[in-house]
Amino acid sequence: MTDQTYTVGSGNKPTKTKYQVKVINDKCIGAASCVAVAAMTFKLNDLNKADIIDQDGNVDSEKLLAAQSCPTAAIEVIDMATGEKIWPK
Amino acid sequence: MPQILNGLLIRKVNLAGNCWLVTFEFPDDYPFLAGQYVSLKVAEDGTRRSYSIASAPGGKVIELLVDVGPMGAGSRYILGLKPGDSVEVLGPLGRFTLPPSPKKVLFVATGSGIVPFRPMIHELLEKRSFTDEIHLDWGMRYEEDLFWIDEFKKLETDHPNFKFDVVLSKPTKEWSACSGHVNDCLIKHRASYLGWEAFLCGNQQMIEEVTATLSGLGVRREDIHFEKFF
């Protein structure tokens, strides 16, 4: 067993990130894992769906983790430098 | 704020059918609220699966109930785990939790949707000494897939304000309790749910049907909380 490895969402706001995130509205069930993991990038709206408030709100690793932890894979991550879809694979 | 922690699998038990109860231990106390879930990393490529926490808050241990019926990445991962294996856990996550002062509480679940209600009910009855009515309706297909029945029956015996009903959609001829959909039984139990607060967890169809039913039976829309399964 190892000690705690990582606390998400606690870093300083990055100046510029390379990953762009996109919410697939129909898939979003308002589970809010994205908000918990990357609170400066996502928020829930009045319809309990995730909205993006700032593409550069969190570092890339936190945005990717937000997408990976979404129970319905409602978040896509694109590497803007290459155009590659990073998540879902 | 959620954390990524490594937990050790200390127990894995088949409760019934496809449902396994897996127990993880952490180095320190694992703080969470009844009703929250965690996200397990189930593949090296970053694939994760979400599971509601089945145990009550407090201590270094959490229990998760995993339905391996879908036999996807999460199912295969859980079935392959053995005691002593380390698992990467992101959490706690989720906002499907009890309010500080709930009204009379109706819990409606289908399938493994009962999982977040187990710690919630224990918290209300045993930690908060909640004395107003609590009713749990659990919809399942087959009697042989049921689990935790003795536990909820004991709570029912120990706490007169707690009522528990199982609703089977595919009952045998010998089944004498509720049958059909949970929505049908809600109507049979009470003519009105005025003054109740409802928590729904299960498939989308159930949530839509029960929300419509309860809205028609006096429950305010803002007092209906739900967590959809997918």
- Strand-strand pairing, B86-93 and B3-16: antiparallel
**Total domain count for chain A?**
1
pLDDT band per the 50, 70, 90 thresholds, residue B18: very high
Residue A15 confidence (pLDDT) above 90: no
Residues facing residue B107 across a β-bridge: B136, B199
pLDDT at residue A7 is higher than 90: no
Q: What is the mean pLDDT of residues A10-35?
A: 87
Task: Check pLDDT > 80 for residue B136.
Answer: yes
pLDDT at position B200 over 80:
yes
Q: Which residue of B has its CA nearest to A6?
A: B4
- Answer yes or no: do B50 and A69 touch at CB < 8 A: yes
A47 found inside a domain: yes
Of A6, A29, A31, the CB nearest to B4: A6
A-B contacts (CB, under 8 Å): 73
Residue A8 lies in a domain: no
Q: Are the Cβ atoms of A36 and B93 closer than 8 angstroms?
A: yes
CATH number at residue A65: 3.30.70.20
Domain that holds residue A53: 19-76
Q: What is the pLDDT of residues B149-199, one digit of tens each?
A: 999 999 999 999 999 999 999 999 999 999 999 999 999 989 999 999 999
Percent of chain B with pLDDT over 90: 96
Asked if the structure places residue A86 within a domain, the reply is no
Instruction: Using alpha carbons, select from B62, B61, B79 the residue that is nearest to residue B70.
Output: B79
Please report the residues numbered 6 through 35 in chain A whose beta carbons come closer than 8 angstroms to any beta carbon of chain B: 6-10, 29, 31-33
pLDDT at A5: 45
Q: Does A73 touch chain B (CB under 8 A)?
A: no
Within a domain: residue A57?
yes
Bridge partners (DSSP) listed for residue B137: B108, B165
- B47 touches A at CB < 8 Å: yes
List of domains in chain B: 3-93 (2.40.30.10), 104-228 (3.40.50.80)
Lookup result for tokens 């909380």: B225
Q: Could you report the per-residue pLDDT of B74-125, keeping only the tens digit for each?
A: 999 999 999 999 999 999 999 999 999 998 999 999 999 999 999 999 999 9
* Closest partner CB to B86 (pick from A1, A4, A9): A1
Taking 90 as the threshold, does the pLDDT of residue A6 lie above it?
A: no
